[in-house]
């Protein structure tokens, strides 16, 4: 049997980091078993679907290394309406489903309980129109065999006759999902824990349609620091946002795979080929997984520092080319220094933009603090003008000497120099920066704030 897994996002918004984790887990599982990864776009929510969201899904997967052409699809749920209608008709003909015209208010009125489930009122009324409900068993249990969660068992009497089709005959998610999986030959369903409550219903549908259910694996919910499920309304969850801030795909992939799983040994930063080799569904922890953005940021910093220098320069260029006057050769002279100081690629701009602009934008708060020692600047300018050699060592020795004549240690002496030249109080090593900036531009900036 060929293993076939699917990743089935809806094109209704940005690409959720939890979805990205599920995609990676499915991708690895398929590769490990020489199987097939199917991308299915669940596009039946026509009111919310937008083509750009579908393209966003494809682009996000590309970024994660799940590239177009390496998987089956994208397939679209809307293309399977015929198979879904056929399944609905079969269930009706077999007596496993029936028409129902009850509203929620009807159920509440009959039961006197606004929280009551459907009471089966239309089960045997012989209606020929309305929504369509699946007839669940009145007794017994349904056991879901789950690779991660064992064998959770559900009492059938507690599962109401659930809707499988709307009044217009179109399948709802529960049925459409099952029919699509059957049609596509899906053998393993690896998805988020939030779908577990639906699983006994879907398993009933698989069996009612004469099919053996797939292997289930429900991965843990991803939560924030308050242990609340990540929400796009409250939390930063869009994969695109992290990508656009300058997170590396390799760091993101590594971190996402650690949400509920751990590689062998006392390590977390692991080469992708090791993750692909070691990951096992049965080793996934069912407990909620904390998405720690601070930890992800630290991961990213480690991955940035591990890049070969030329790759680091290439990775930074999408941000650097937004700076007027950017020069790759100039950046290359400070790239190694910058590489150790940033955790996000987007931070490169604030570290090096002063090298390319005509005049830096002065941080007023930084200057307010540094200007207390700005009286040193005329002497610094005079000393720098006399230098015959313009290099980092000579510049540092010169500023140390000037500082001593003004009874200022180097930290105090260099503060107004740094802000005048770079616009900020922190950044790359000062004297290496001055060397690259050059004598003329350095003196012009010092003079501008010494006046």
Active site residues: 232
Neighbour count for residue 424 (Cβ, 10 Å)? 20
CA distance 150 to 152: 6
CA distance 164 to 244: 40
3-state secondary structure of 7: strand
User: Burial, 361: exposed, middle or buried (Cβ in 10 Å; 0-12, 13-18, 19+)?
Assistant: exposed
CA distance 101 to 121: 9
Tokens standing for residue 319 = 């941000």
Q: Would you say 70 and 99 are in contact if contact means Cβ atoms under 8 Å apart?
A: no
- Cα separation values, 421 from 340, 358, 446, Å: 21, 11, 7
CA distance 136 to 325: 69
Q: Would you say 384 and 398 are in contact if contact means Cβ atoms under 8 Å apart?
A: yes
CA distance 274 to 158: 44
The secondary structure of the chain in percent helix, strand, coil, rounded to multiples of 5, reads: 50, 10, 40
Q: Would you say 376 and 413 are in contact if contact means Cβ atoms under 8 Å apart?
A: yes
Question: What sign for the dihedral angle of Cα 402, 404, 405, 411?
Answer: positive
* DSSP 8-class letter at 127: -
Q: Find, among 188, 254, 245, 173, the residue nearest to 218 by Cα.
A: 188
Please give the backbone phi and psi of residue 257, each rounded to the nearest 5 degrees, phi first.
Answer: -70, -15
- Cα separation values, 247 from 4, 233, 303, Å: 31, 22, 9
User: Could you give the angle at the alpha carbon of 210 between the alpha carbons of 208 and 212, nearest 5°?
Assistant: 100
CB neighbour list of residue 119: distance below 8 Å, 6 or more residues apart = 107, 110, 111
User: Burial, 423: exposed, middle or buried (Cβ in 10 Å; 0-12, 13-18, 19+)?
Assistant: buried
């Amino acid at each position: 049997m060929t293993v076939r897994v699917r990743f089935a996002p809806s094109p209704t918004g940005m690409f959720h980091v939890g979805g990205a984790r599920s995609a990676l887990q499915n991708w690895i599982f398929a590769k490990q078993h020489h199987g097939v990864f199917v991308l299915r776009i669940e596009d039946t929510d026509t009111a919310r679907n937008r083509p750009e969201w579908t393209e966003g899904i494809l682009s996000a997967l590309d970024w994660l290394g799940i590239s177009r052409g390496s998987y089956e699809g994208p397939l679209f749920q809307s293309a399977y309406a015929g198979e879904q209608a056929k399944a609905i008709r079969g269930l009706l003909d077999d007596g496993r489903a029936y028409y129902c015209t009850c509203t929620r208010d009807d159920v509440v009125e009959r039961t006197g309980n606004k929280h009551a489930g459907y009471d089966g009122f239309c089960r045997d009324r012989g209606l020929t129109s309305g929504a369509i409900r699946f007839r669940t068993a009145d007794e017994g249990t349904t056991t879901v065999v789950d690779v991660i969660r064992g064998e959770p068992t559900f009492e059938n009497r507690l599962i109401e006759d659930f809707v499988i089709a709307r009044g217009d005959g179109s399948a709802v998610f529960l049925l459409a999902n099952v029919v699509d999986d059957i049609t596509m030959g899906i053998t393993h369903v690896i998805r988020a824990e939030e779908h577990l409550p639906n699983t006994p219903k879907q398993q009933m549908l698989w069996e009612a349609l004469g099919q053996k259910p797939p292997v289930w694996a429900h991965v843990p919910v991803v939560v924030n620091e308050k242990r609340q499920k990540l929400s796009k309304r409250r939390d930063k969850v869009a994969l695109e946002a992290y990508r656009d801030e300058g997170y590396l795909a390799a760091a993101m992939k590594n971190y996402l795979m650690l949400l509920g799983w751990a590689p062998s040994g006392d390590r977390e930063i692991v080469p992708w080929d090791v993750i692909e080799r070691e990951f096992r569904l049965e080793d996934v922890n069912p407990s909620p997984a904390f998405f720690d953005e601070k930890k992800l940021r630290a991961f990213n910093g480690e991955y940035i520092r591990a890049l070969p220098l030329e790759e680091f320069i290439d990775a930074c260029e999408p941000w650097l080319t937004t700076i007027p006057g950017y020069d790759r050769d100039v950046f290359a002279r400070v790239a190694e220094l910058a590489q150790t100081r940033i955790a996000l690629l987007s931070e490169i701009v604030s570290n090096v933009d002063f090298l390319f602009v005509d005049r830096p934008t002065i941080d007023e708060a930084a200057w307010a603090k540094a200007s207390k020692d700005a009286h040193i600047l005329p002497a610094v300018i005079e000393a720098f003008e006399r230098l015959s050699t313009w290099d980092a060592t000579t510049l540092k020795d010169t500023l140390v000497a000037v500082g001593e004549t003004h009874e200022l240690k180097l930290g105090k002496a260099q503060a107004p120099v740094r802000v005048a030249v770079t616009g900020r109080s922190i950044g790359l090593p000062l004297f290496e920066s001055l060397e690259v900036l050059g004598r003329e531009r350095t003196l012009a900036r010092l003079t501008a704030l010494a006046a």
